[in-house]
Structure 1
Amino acid sequence: MTQDSIDLGPRRHPRRMSLTPMIDVVFLLLIFFMLSSRFGMDAVLPIAGGAEGAASEWQGAPRLVDITPDAVSLNGTQTDPAELVNALKALMPEDGGAVVLRAREDADLQRMVEIMDHLQAGGLSNLILIE
């Protein structure tokens, strides 16, 4: 027998790969990202960050509010949160000014937002957050 006389049967075509598993994985990833995405903003806090590049001179007395988990102090003096707006308005210049807020120690974000809401309800809207 020679090499030419060996019969190997009909020629087989290579098997095509199935794309079904890859499509399944793509759909599972699509579902995962759709379910884990957030499609809106929860809340927006309007605050001045000081990064706008617009320089302005500080006017009036210092107005630094330190916020801790259980107390609020204005320029280093502990102040009742209910009296904070009145104490700040006494220090504000005629044309308005900024109030600097600084979270201290273990003050959480909720405490900071409560103080900010209280100040904005009292008419003080130019708030600057620092570390």
Structure 2
Amino acid sequence: MTQGGFDLGPRRHPRRMSLTPMIDVVFLLLIFFMLASRFGTDVALPIAGGAEGAATEWQGVPRLVDVTPDDILLNGTAIAPADLVAAVTQLLPEPSDAVILRPRDDADLQRLVTVMDALREGGITNMILVE
């Protein structure tokens, strides 16, 4: 017996911590995030910057589409989204002529993309995006 009255045997050295469970958890997280992630290609929007419009000679009347959070304006006049393609097409001397898009008043990106998609579905492919 020892001083306190109990003999716990010889003092053992503390065991070294094993890293195997931590490595298992890291691999499980890696597999989870790989399976939960979406792998795919991002879609690029075919638009021209403001400099492209300056290099070509402008033909016809102005075709400025302002996209706001609540309205779509064609040359400063509010227009219904369903009527936009027909109204812009009437202003184009050639189907390949440019249309200028300008997001305004904190219009979000999704609203701009929706307008661009509507124009593209209507056959208008040459769009210039300006600030």
Q: TM-score range by the shorter chain?
A: 0.5 to 0.7
Aligned to 1:105: 105
TM-score w.r.t. length of structure 2: 0.65
1:97: Cα distance to partner? Answer: 1.4
2:74 aligned with 1:74, yes or no?
yes
- Work out the percentage of aligned pairs sharing the same amino acid: 60
TM-score w.r.t. length of structure 1: 0.65
Measured in 2, the distance between the counterparts of 1:52 and 1:68 equals 23
Equivalent positions of 1:1-131 (< 5 A) are: 18-41=18-41, 44-50=43-49, 56-60=55-59, 61-94=61-94, 96-131=96-131
Runs of 4+ in structure 1 off by over 6 angstroms are: none
Partners of 2:89 and 2:95 within 8 A in 1: no
Q: Encode CA deviations 1:70-111: one digit per residue, 9 max, x unaligned.
A: 211112222233332232223323362121212222423332
Q: What is the aligned-residue RMSD (CA, Å)? A: 3.1
Q: Amino acid of the residue matched to residue 30 of structure 1?
A: L
Partners of 2:66 and 2:102 within 8 A in 1: yes
Measured in 2, the distance between the counterparts of 1:103 and 1:77 equals 15
Measured in 1, the distance between the counterparts of 2:114 and 2:123 equals 15
Q: Amino acid of the residue matched to residue 128 of structure 2?
A: I
5+ residue gaps, structure 1: 1-14
Q: How many residues align?
A: 115
